[in-house]
A and B are shown apart, each in its own frame.
Chain A
Amino acid sequence: MEDLSAAPAGFHLFRYAAPPQFYALAGKAVPFFAGLATILAAVGLYLGFFVAPTDAQQGEAYRIMFVHVPAAWMAMFIYVVMAGWASLGLILNTRMSAIMASALAPTGALMAFLALWTGALWGRPAWGTYWDWDARMTSTLILLFLYMGFMALHSAIDDARRADRASGVLALVGVVNVPIIYFSVQWWNSLHQGSSITLGRAPTIATPMLAAMLIMSLAFWMYCIAMALTRARAIVLERERAADWVRALAGSGT
């Protein structure tokens, strides 16, 4: 057994909870994640368009899956992470936690929008309709509204710390929607198909398709990290503009 109590002494994780350290570290991390996203997207698109075969039932329309599934996964995952940061901010009142929650919201909203948009364009050839008010689609639309509500509430309150708390509570309340989206295809009769991948069970799709989908998901993941970290850096500068370290930064030109 590793002695976990010794870990914080050698590795100052909480050091990066302070904005100056976060700003510097995130600045180094963003090009790394952006580069990974680019490489993974190139590989994923190659697999998705040139290696994965035509689907026997859906023809080529199924290739929308390679962006639809990653966008939908990220929309749900980002919401959970955002709510996690928001709750940390509410409990510990740390500055970076609320900034991370605010930094994730717009990217999460875009992912929810893309999940709906690509889903509509896939639904039309697959089911004959762009939209249906079934559980999966309706709860995903609610997810988009939750992101938008979070951002609207935050920007409606002038005092940043009060805005953090109010929108943090909203983020926490809205988190119940995520398991509803995830399990909706099992709980209700839905036009939407079930999961192609379930933990602990063999995937129901062919290997090159699965590989393309997973690699595209990783690409989306890396992209979202790069975006959220960049946005968090901008928010840090906007919020801490009166702090000495930010002024020193401005002088150094970085």
Chain B
Amino acid sequence: MNWGSWQAFWSMGGYGGYVWGAYGAVALVAAVEIVALRARLARARRALRRR
């Protein structure tokens, strides 16, 4: 176990901005891609049903 407290965990030894900026970007990109892809697949299916 590396962290004595949640505060220590979030501060990342003073590098919190860099570490969470990196991980946050990964999470955001993945979330956006998943949502956008689901929407694209649903749109393609809707377009088929309209015909």
Q: How far is the CA of A6 from the CA of B40 in the complex (A)?
A: 40
**Contact string against A for B residues 20-34, beta-carbon threshold 8 Å, 1 for contact and 0 otherwise:** 011101100110011
Verify if A31 is at the interface (C-beta below 8 Å from B). no
Taking a contact as CB atoms under 8 Å apart, the answer to whether B48 and A117 are in contact is no
Closest to A52 in B: B2
Count contacts between A and B, CB distance < 8 Å.
89
Asked whether, in the complex, the Cβ of B47 is within 8 Å of the Cβ of A234, the reply is no
**B18 contacts which chain A residues (CB < 8 A)?**
61, 64, 121-122, 124-125
- A227 near B12: Cβ-Cβ < 8 Å: no
Contact in complex: B37, A234 (CB < 8 Å):
yes
Chain B count of residues within 8 A CB distance of the other chain: 29
Q: Which residues of B contact A161 (CB under 8 A)?
A: none
The answer on a CB contact under 8 Å between B44 and A60 is no
Question: Contacting chain B: which of A75-83, A144-152, A179-187, A243-251?
Answer: A243-251
A241 and B22 within 8 A (CB): no
Contact B51 A61 (CB under 8 A): no
Interface segment among A9-17, A92-100, A106-114, A162-170: the answer is: A106-114
Task: Decide if B41 touches A230 in the complex (CB within 8 Å).
Answer: yes
Interface string of B36-51 (1 = CB under 8 A from A): 0110110011011101
CA distance A67 to B2 in the complex (A): 19
Q: Which of A174-219 contact B (CB under 8 A)?
A: none
Instruction: Please count how many residues in chain A sit with their CB below 8 Å of the partner chain's CB atoms.
Output: 37
Partner of B1, one of A50, A67, A68, A241: A50
A71 to B29 alpha-carbon distance, docked (Å):
12
Q: Classify the interface of chain B: helix, strand, loop or mixed.
A: helix
CB proximity of A227 to chain B, nearest CB, Å = 6
Question: A67 contacts which chain B residues (CB < 8 A)?
Answer: 22-23, 26
Partner of B12, one of A52, A60, A234, A250: A60
Residues of chain B within 8 A (CB-CB) of A68 are: 22
B4: CB under 8 A from chain A? Answer: no
Contact A241 B47 (CB under 8 A): yes
Shortest beta-carbon distance from B51 to chain A in Å: 7
Which residue numbers of A lie inside 8 Å of B, CB to CB?
A: 49-50, 52-54, 59-61, 63-64, 67-68, 71, 106-107, 110, 113-114, 117-118, 121-122, 124-125, 223, 227, 230-231, 233-234, 237-238, 241, 246-247, 249-250
28 A–B contacts from the bound complex (CB under 8 Å) = A49-B2, A52-B2, A53-B2, A60-B15, A60-B19, A61-B13, A63-B19, A64-B19, A64-B22, A67-B26, A106-B33, A107-B33, A114-B25, A117-B22, A122-B18, A223-B30, A227-B33, A227-B34, A237-B44, A237-B47, A238-B44, A238-B47, A241-B44, A247-B48, A247-B51, A250-B45, A250-B48, A250-B49
